[in-house]
Amino acid sequence: MIPQLNIVSLVNTVAALSDNCFNGNLYMADNSRGAKTTGQGTDALCTQVQFAQVLNWHAWAINVQMDIEICDIRWYQNGALITDPAQEPVTKSKLYGAPSGDYWAAVIDKQTGEYQYQLKFKMAGEEMWMNSFARIYIGN
Amino acid sequence: MGQLAIVVTVDQQGALASGQLAGNIYLIDNNKHAGSTSEGTEDLVTHIEGSQIMNWLVLGLDLQGPAVTLENVCGEAVEKGIMVPQQFESPELGAGLGLWWGATVDSSEKEQSYSYTLKFKIGDKPMSYDGQIVVKKGFSNVPSKPCGAHKK
């Protein structure tokens, strides 16, 4: 098991701000290499994870002249937004600072299950939720 | 027309484990509006209208893993003089991102496809990737060098 998983969101920030939408402007990839990981390079990445694994979300702008950061994450199960933090599949979800750029990290807190999530990005002072849903699959 | 960026994302451990970049590399550019295809995949075809500056930005998915560095740009497009690559450094970029490869790409009277090769090192292990560009006629506005950069 890879102790720390990285999920990278590559964003065409200029196009996303111009379209006011992430459709076609967001590409996600991870280093999980799980058999159930799918959608690498798309905006609907499904990452296979396991209990107690650390997940790091990074955001990078294709247009490097513009900063981008992840400012929030929200979880769904079976299409319904999770409002009780205890029901979320992760704990200790927070933003960390690093010389190479801030990133969002959390620890997988459930043994099995499939959850959807959305990331909120901040670009040029503007905050926007991703339009698609990414997923995690917890289990073997 | 702004500068063209190609972000190259590499899963270093995956590449080292399988001995190849295939299946472990994802490329995205900001020229989809000009016709670039297969964004987010290793089959990216970058379409370039008119003479343009292009920049490759290399990022490792294993942030805790071995460094991935672009060592050289070569191949058909370079041999035929269409693509003229060189390494730049910028005082504005830090955290190991201070050096990057850019290139000027020549305009073409008719649409033409060329391959090029990126030579990487992951840790100490050399690996290469073959990419593709399609150059077409278009408005040219090439500055003498990328913004904020000076030749290494």
Of A10, A31, A101, the CB nearest to B7: A10
Q: Decide if A4 and B64 are in contact by the 8 Å CB cutoff.
A: yes
| Cβ neighbours of residue B33 closer than 8 Å, sequence gap 6 or more | A15
Q: How far is CA B76 from CA A40, A112, B26, B118, B131, in A?
A: 29, 49, 21, 11, 10
Q: A38 — contact with chain B (CB < 8 Å)?
A: no
Which residues of chain B have a CB within 8 Å of the CB of A104?
none
Name the amino acid, one letter, at B27.
Answer: L
Q: Both tokens of residue B19? A: 């001995």
Do residue A15 and residue B32 have CB atoms under 8 angstroms apart? yes
pLDDT tens for each residue of chain B, 152 residues long: 567 899 999 999 999 999 999 999 999 999 988 899 999 999 999 999 888 888 998 989 988 889 999 999 999 999 999 999 998 876 555 444 567 889 988 877 789 999 999 999 999 999 999 999 999 887 655 554 444 444 44
User: Which B-chain residues 16-35 have CB contacts (< 8 A) with chain A?
Assistant: 17, 26, 28-30, 32-33
| Number of Cβ atoms within 10 Å of the Cβ of B135 | 25
| CB-based contact B26 A64, cutoff 8 Å | no
Tell me which residue in B28, B62, B94 faces A10 most closely, judged by beta carbons: B28
- Judge contact between A119 and A130, C-beta under 8 A: yes
**pLDDT tens, position by position, B44-85:** 999 998 888 889 989 899 888 899 999 999 999 999 999 999
CA distance B111 to chain A (A): 25
Locus of tokens 């769904």:
A76
What pLDDT, in 10s, does the model give residues A80-136? 999 999 999 999 788 887 766 778 899 999 999 999 999 999 999 999 999 999 999
Query: Do A8 and B9 lie within an 8 Å CB cutoff?
Result: yes
> Are B61 and A64 inside 8 Å of each other by CB?
no
Query: Shortest Cα distance from A62 to chain B (angstroms)?
Result: 6
Q: Helix (H) and strand (E) counts for chain B? A: 2, 10
Is the distance from CB of B62 to CB of B12 less than 8 angstroms?
A: yes
Q: CB of A132 within 8 Å of any CB in chain B?
A: no
